[in-house]
Structure 1
Amino acid sequence: MNPAVPTWAGVAASAALIALTIAVAWHGRLRLGRDITVAAVRAALQLAAVGALLLLVFRHTGLTGAIGWLGIMVLIAGQVAARRTPALPKALPTATAAITIGTAATMGTLLALGVIATQARVVIPVGGMVVSGAMQATALALTRLHDEVRTARPAIEARLSLGLAATDAFAPHQRTIVRTALIPALDSTKTVGVISLPGAMTGLILAGVDPFTAIRYQIVVMYMLLAAAALAALIAVRLSERALFDDAHRLRPLAAQSAGS
């Protein structure tokens, strides 16, 4: 047994942190005690279920099962990324396509170049990080695009009235949107190892791996997250741009959005 990995008794003891969180919420009269308890129990049950499923995938399905697992991740990630911008035309297929392409291109490059092994126990966790990074960038891009279209509609329509094509009229906003979506990935890449030790590196060190070996893996992780975010954000904006304009290069009106969205 690896002494760096908590035992089940240690996991149970860590529930004291949840009790502390509930106590803080109660003292502050936040009325979050029930929500915190449900979240903690749900997280434990979900992770236990995922652990059991991963054990089956690792033992019986191999790379095919890993690809199927990533496919399910992508579908869920697409729904999450599109959830905040239901007013955008074709938000769900756009988000799903952007995350799919960003993930497939990044993972395909890593596998084709032999950077990571083709084993399911490697492809699934690495692919999960890629999907998560692509999802965050896509969500930021779509949210920023939605706000940009609402606030900058007069400027876009003014360019269209001057005879510019839809692509040219929207180009300045497209660049702003993609830059904004890439800020978290860029900041994380710039400050990695300075502010905190990232998850992959920390996990490897806790597992007893030599720090320099862990660093090599973390460098690959940062590069792949940046690539996945850039691809997903750019594709999300490009696909959304096509959906925003009709064949006559007119900017479509956004659908009404509920206050709770």
Structure 2
Amino acid sequence: MTGLSVPSWGGVAASLLLIALTAAVAYRQRLHLTRELITASLRAGAQLAAVGVLLLVIFAHTGLPGAFGWVTIMILLAGQVAGRRGTGLPRARWAATLGVAVGSLVTLATLLGLGIISTQARVVVPIGGMIVSGAMQAAGVALRRLREDAQQARPAIEARLCLGLPARDAFLPHQRSALRTALLPAIDSTKVVGLISLPGAMTGLILAGVDPLTAIRYQIVVMYMLLAATALAALTAARLVEHALFDHAHRLIPLPEPH
């Protein structure tokens, strides 16, 4: 591949001027985000450098088993992050972790099983990372919406229960609303892909010198896999939390008040 121009470490350091500009805007507007912005930027750089070194080891010495091990770690971390969005819900982190795992593993297994992507570690790790990230965001949004509805719509839910509806039917409108909220960002991104923005996978391949039509084929697969992962993750997390929200008598359990 030709035409690839990678920034030097000096160029990376120079790009900190953009962070300084952003921090200056935040400070000038008194957004109280300056310290958080700088900390997040430095942390991201350190994390990416550490991951880069680790991936060198995985690609060179551990191969596919190491790649799957890394994907497993990403799933566990993503489950914890998504679970925090549902704080107050019973078993939120467990539901989020299982939701991310189902969405990620089913999608990745399909891609590998059908031969759509290569079984090389340098392919499995970045593709797995994109899948896990999408699943994490969808599970987190679904849980946050479920928590809000379980607290704010409690009278309506209990009214349906009093009318004799089982717990699943009484909560179904809110589950559907949470799933719609979780899936809409991925659907909207899919609608405008290529028209408003060139997504990361396609952009990276084009920068690496790949023919645009080849890059497009890869990006289509990426968009489809993200839709599948988000749908499976959100649905799994929502169903697990739904079961935990009701006791054996189909009564909605009390939830702590939001902070």
Q: TM-score, normalised by structure 1?
A: 0.94
Extract unaligned runs of 5+ from structure 1: none
Within a 5 Å distance, the mapping from 1:35-184 to structure 2 comes to 35-184=36-185
Residue 39 of structure 1: CA displacement?
Answer: 2.5
Partners of 2:32 and 2:92 in 1: CA distance: 34
- Are the equivalent residues in 2 in contact too, given 1:185–1:226 (CA < 8 A)? yes
Moved more, 246-255 or 207-216: 246-255
What is the letter of the counterpart of residue 55 of structure 1?
L
Secondary structure of the 1:11 match is helix
Give the stretch that moved more between structures: 200-209 or 157-166: 157-166
| CA apart distance, 1:33 | 4.1
Matched position secondary structure for 1:10: helix
- Relative to structure 1, the CA distance from residue 10 to residue 2 in structure 2 (aligned partners, 3 Å threshold; closer, same or farther) is farther
Q: Percent of aligned pairs with the same residue?
A: 66
CA deviation map 1:128-161 (0-9, x unaligned): 0000000010011001111111121111111111
Query: For residues 120 and 106 of structure 2, what CA distance do their matches in structure 1 show?
Result: 18
Asked whether the 8 Å contact 2:103–2:230 carries over to 1, the reply is yes
Mapped to 2, the partners of 1:40 and 1:138 lie a distance apart of 25
Give secondary structure in 2 for the equivalent of 1:215.
Answer: helix
* Residue 240 in structure 1 maps to residue 259 in structure 2: no
2:54 paired with 1:27: no
> 1:213: Cα distance to partner?
0.5
User: Aligned pair count?
Assistant: 258
Q: Is the 8 A contact 1:5 1:206 kept in 2?
A: no
Instruction: Give the direction of change, closer, same or farther, for the CA distance of 1:15–1:169 in structure 2 (3 Å limit).
Output: same
Partner of 2:153, secondary structure, is helix
Q: Measured at CA, do residues 3 and 234 of structure 1 come closer, stay the same or move farther in structure 2, by a change above 3 Å? A: closer
Over the residues paired in the alignment, what is the CA RMSD in angstroms?
A: 1.5
Deviations 1:92-150 (A, max 9, x none): 10000000000011001000000001111000100000000000100110011111111
Asked if the contact 1:77/1:131 (under 8 Å) is kept, the reply is yes
What's the CA shift string for 1:160-185, capped at 9, x where partnerless?
Answer: 11211111111222211111110101
Instruction: Assess if the C-alpha contact under 8 Å between 1:5 and 1:207 holds in 2.
Output: no
Question: C-alpha separation between the residues in 2 aligned to 1:26 and 1:239?
Answer: 43
CA distance in 2, matches of 1:104, 1:230: 13
Change (3 A) 1:190 1:19: same
Mapped to 1, the partners of 2:159 and 2:31 lie a distance apart of 48
The correspondence of residues 169-208 of structure 1 with structure 2, limited to 5 A, is: 169-208=170-209
Q: Which amino acid aligns with 1:142?
A: L
Q: Distance in 1 between matches of 2:35 and 2:147?
A: 34
The 3-state SS of whatever aligns with 2:43 is helix
C-alpha contact (below 8 Å) 2:85/2:141 kept by paired residues: no
SS at match of 2:201: helix
Q: Is the 8 A contact 2:167 2:251 kept in 1?
A: yes
Instruction: Please give the alpha-carbon distance, in whole angstroms, between the structure 2 residues aligned to 1:31 and 1:43.
Output: 20
Once the two structures are TM-superposed, the CA of residue 40 in structure 1 deviates from its matched residue by: 2.5
- The amino acid that maps onto 1:67 is F
Note the C-alpha offset of 1:8: 1.9
Residue number in structure 2 paired with 1:252 = 253
**Structure 2 residue ranges without an equivalent (≥5):** none
Of 110-119 and 27-36, deviating more is 27-36
> Residue 67 of structure 1: CA displacement?
0.8
Q: Does 1:224 align with 2:225?
A: yes
Secondary structure class of the residue paired with 2:88: coil
Inter-partner Cα distance in structure 2 for 1:256 and 1:29:
30
Alpha-carbon shift at residue 255 of structure 1 (Å): 2.8
Shift of 1:32: 4.3
Bigger mean CA deviation after superposition, 241-250 or 170-179: 170-179
**CA separation in 2, counterparts of 1:93 and 1:247?**
20
Q: 1:3 to 1:221 in 2, by over 3 A?
A: closer
